[in-house]
């Protein structure tokens, strides 16, 4: 997606540790018009007419997933990080490793809001090692629901998460795959 790549080139910053900071438009301050453009782009890549829900993980995926769910006319569900006492029993759980927080995290999702009848589009803002999305796929599988696809705004192509999903045959699309990043020089993988 050309517009997204231009925003990354213009406003993205590369920090030590291969961190790519896009917090001016994606995951701290969110440009809603850009999210609308991304949601429209996913519409060309996934069979959104057939889905029953958009699923994401808290926190930064929620804004994009909300705009996608709005456009496709379905509810948005987000998996939570465990330890809140606001969720009673009847949960799906998946264990993931958060490279951001440098610890294991348990994703939880109420069995009430994901069942074997659901057709799920997973949406997230960012894909690096892919742990968050791996956990979400696991939740979908536990529910016996159908995974229609996985849509990501920005993938760090050099960290393997996206390629692992492609290798598994998941209907996976990222709109901007960063192949290489150093300060002042961000390059993208050629279009699929």
Cα-Cα-Cα-Cα dihedral sign, residues 30, 139, 53, 160 = positive
Nearest residue (CB) to its own copies, 67 versus 174: 67
**Residue 51, token pair as written in the block:** 């889905």
**CA 191 – CA 34 distance, rounded (Å):** 20
Query: Where in 77-96 is the site for its own copies (CB under 8 A)?
Result: 77-78, 80, 83-88
**CA 170 – CA 137 distance, rounded (Å):** 10
3-state SS assignment for residue 120: strand
3-state SS assignment for residue 41: helix
Per rule CB under 8 A, is residue 49 in the interface with its own copies? Answer: no
Neighbours of 192 (CB within 10 A): 9
Question: Which one among 3, 18, 36, 37 touches its own copies, defined by CB under 8 A?
Answer: 36
**Minimum gap (Å) between residue 59 Cβ and its own copies:** 4
**Minimum gap (Å) between residue 179 Cβ and its own copies:** 20
3-state SS assignment for residue 134: helix
Per rule CB under 8 A, is residue 97 in the interface with its own copies? Answer: no
- Supply angle C-alpha 171, 177, 181, rounded to 5: 155
Question: Which one among 66, 94, 107, 129 touches its own copies, defined by CB under 8 A?
Answer: 66
Question: Which one among 21, 40, 111, 117 touches its own copies, defined by CB under 8 A?
Answer: 21
Which positions touch its own copies (CB under 8 A)? 15, 17, 19, 21, 23-24, 27-32, 35-36, 53, 58-60, 62-63, 66-67, 69-70, 75-78, 80, 83-88, 100-101, 109-110, 112-113
């Amino acid at each position: 997606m050309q517009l997204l790549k231009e925003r990354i080139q213009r406003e993205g910053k590369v920090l030590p540790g291969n961190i790519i900071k896009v917090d001016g438009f994606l995951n701290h301050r969110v440009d809603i018009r850009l999210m609308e453009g991304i949601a429209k782009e996913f519409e060309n890549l996934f069979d959104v007419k057939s889905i029953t829900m958009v699923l994401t993980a808290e926190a930064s995926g929620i804004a994009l997933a909300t705009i996608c769910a709005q456009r496709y006319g379905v509810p948005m569900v987000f998996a939570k990080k465990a330890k809140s006492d606001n969720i009673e029993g009847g949960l799906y759980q998946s264990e993931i490793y958060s490279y951001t927080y440098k610890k294991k995290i348990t994703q939880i999702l109420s069995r009430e809001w994901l069942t074997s009848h659901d057709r799920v589009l997973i949406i997230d803002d960012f894909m690096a090692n892919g742990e968050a999305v791996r956990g979400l796929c696991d939740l979908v599988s536990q529910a016996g629901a159908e995974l229609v696809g996985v849509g990501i705004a920005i993938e760090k192509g050099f960290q393997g998460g996206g390629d692992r999903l492609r290798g598994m045959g998941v209907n996976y699309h990222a709109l901007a795959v960063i192949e290489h990043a150093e300060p002042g020089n961000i390059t993208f993988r050629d279009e699929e």
